[in-house]
């Protein structure tokens, strides 16, 4: 397997000879004059690049390639609409490649984050919430998925361990609220926090070396899937109080903060308000940090416009600082 260049370092006019990438998107299109070509997105640990296979090169590409396959691709990089684009002249599947070498992974320590969440679970006093957490977490399959799954395909924490990192960041961000404001229900809040994105384990999957959105994920979405999962678990716990269930469901369904962001109701308890705050804090910080990391190599003072956060970020000090260090 040939991996000598990373996507983050690709330059215009660079020639690529048989380098390994993940096939992240793959679509056959028709040009205006009726000729077929492929639209691609290729990835590695460092990022993604859009690509094309023009009609004259289609016969140099192996048939039957699928999303998540690791491929060997040759061609060159050109600039299109101000961004690099990979013109692929040939590609074939690599059989012996290890998917984990191509998936982006959290830079934080997964075992430490897992331990911090476990420590909180052991402190939960409410017997019903404790039973609910204990029905989920000790199961090795659940723990494994929670620890390794991404929190998204693209938007935030979109890498192996992303859901764990997002949940852990929210745990850390929420602590000051409970120091400052008295009378809040930590047991309820923590259980809601822990399970708030649990539906993402159904919404996303890791296929080969690609993070993909599943069909149930597209049809049902993570909020509804989370509620279905929790409802099934709660049904197994005798006498689980209905009012507690409703307040827990409220935390899950309102966590995206507004109808515009996909929550069917807005937060109407103080715990739900805090959950939606820290969910946004963690997601926005992650997007901003990743966007700046991606933009640094340009040497520009400001990053490209970020379409979700609706701004460019200033990175001048970081660029100057990195040249000082050099």
Q: Which spans of this chain sit near Fe ion (rule: CB under 5 A)? A: 197, 279
Listed residue (84, 103, 90) closest to 59, CA to CA: 90
Given the complex with Fe ion, which of 70 and 198 has the nearer CB atom?
Answer: 198
Listed residue (193, 195, 197, 189) closest to 270, CA to CA: 189
**Owner of token pair 């509620």:** 227
How is residue 58 written in tokens? 């289609």
Provide the minimum distance between the beta carbon of 162 and Fe ion in the complex, in angstroms, as a whole number: 10
Given a contact cutoff of 8 angstroms between Cβ atoms, the answer to whether 311 and 288 are in contact is no
Provide the minimum distance between the beta carbon of 218 and Fe ion in the complex, in angstroms, as a whole number: 15
Given the complex with Fe ion, which of 68 and 199 has the nearer CB atom?
Answer: 199
Q: How far apart are CA 81 and CA 83, in angstroms?
A: 6
Instruction: Say how many C-beta atoms besides its own lie within 10 A of residue 290's C-beta.
Output: 18
Given the complex with Fe ion, which of 69 and 197 has the nearer CB atom?
Answer: 197
Provide the minimum distance between the beta carbon of 29 and Fe ion in the complex, in angstroms, as a whole number: 32
Listed residue (147, 150, 88) closest to 114, CA to CA: 147
Sign of CA dihedral 8, 62, 24, 110: negative
Given a contact cutoff of 8 angstroms between Cβ atoms, the answer to whether 62 and 91 are in contact is yes
Given a contact cutoff of 8 angstroms between Cβ atoms, the answer to whether 47 and 294 are in contact is yes
Q: In a 3-state reduction of DSSP, which class is residue 115? A: helix
Given the complex with Fe ion, which of 19 and 202 has the nearer CB atom?
Answer: 202
Q: How far apart are CA 10 and CA 86, in angstroms?
A: 9
Residue 207: Cβ-neighbour burial (10 angstroms; 0-12, 13-18, 19+) = middle
Provide the minimum distance between the beta carbon of 226 and Fe ion in the complex, in angstroms, as a whole number: 8
Given the complex with Fe ion, which of 33 and 219 has the nearer CB atom?
Answer: 219
Provide the minimum distance between the beta carbon of 255 and Fe ion in the complex, in angstroms, as a whole number: 6
* Orientation of helix 110-123 relative to helix 140-148, angle to 10°: 130
Given the complex with Fe ion, which of 44 and 169 has the nearer CB atom?
Answer: 169
Provide the minimum distance between the beta carbon of 273 and Fe ion in the complex, in angstroms, as a whole number: 15
Provide the minimum distance between the beta carbon of 177 and Fe ion in the complex, in angstroms, as a whole number: 16
Beta-bridged to residue 87, according to DSSP, are 52, 76
Beta-bridged to residue 24, according to DSSP, are none
Given the complex with Fe ion, which of 165 and 197 has the nearer CB atom?
Answer: 197
Given the complex with Fe ion, which of 44 and 197 has the nearer CB atom?
Answer: 197
Provide the minimum distance between the beta carbon of 196 and Fe ion in the complex, in angstroms, as a whole number: 6
């Amino acid at each position: 397997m040939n991996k000598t260049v990373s996507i983050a370092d690709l330059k215009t006019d660079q020639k690529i000879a048989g380098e390994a990438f993940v096939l992240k998107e793959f679509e056959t299109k028709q040009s205006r004059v009726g000729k077929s070509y492929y639209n691609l997105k290729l990835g590695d640990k460092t990022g993604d690049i859009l690509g094309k296979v023009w009609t004259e090169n289609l016969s140099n590409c192996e048939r039957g390639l699928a999303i998540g396959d690791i491929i060997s691709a040759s061609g060159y990089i050109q600039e299109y609409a101000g961004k690099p684009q990979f013109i692929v002249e040939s590609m074939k599947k690599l059989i012996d490649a290890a998917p984990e070498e191509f998936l982006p992974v959290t830079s934080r320590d997964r075992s430490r984050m897992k331990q911090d969440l476990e420590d909180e679970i052991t402190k939960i006093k409410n017997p019903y919430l404790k039973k609910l957490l204990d029905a989920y977490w000790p199961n090795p399959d659940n723990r494994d998925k929670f620890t390794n799954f991404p929190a998204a395909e693209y938007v935030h924490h979109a890498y192996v361990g992303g859901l764990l990192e997002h949940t852990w960041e929210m745990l850390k961000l929420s602590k000051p609220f409970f120091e400052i404001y008295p009378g809040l229900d930590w047991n309820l809040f923590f259980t809601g926090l822990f399970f708030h994105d649990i539906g993402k384990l159904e919404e996303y999957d890791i296929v080969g070396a690609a993070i993909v959105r599943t069909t149930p994920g597209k049809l049902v979405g993570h909020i509804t899937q989370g509620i279905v999962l929790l409802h099934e678990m709660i049904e197994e716990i005798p006498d689980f109080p209905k009012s507690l269930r409703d307040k827990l469901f409220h935390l899950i369904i309102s966590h995206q903060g507004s109808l515009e962001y996909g929550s069917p109701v807005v937060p109407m308890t103080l715990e739900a308000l805090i959950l939606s705050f820290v969910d946004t804090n963690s997601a926005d910080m992650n997007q901003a940090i990743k966007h700046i990391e991606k933009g640094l190599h340009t040497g520009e003072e400001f990053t490209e416009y970020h379409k979700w956060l609706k701004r460019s970020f200033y990175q001048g000090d970081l660029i100057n600082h990195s040249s000082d260090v050099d």
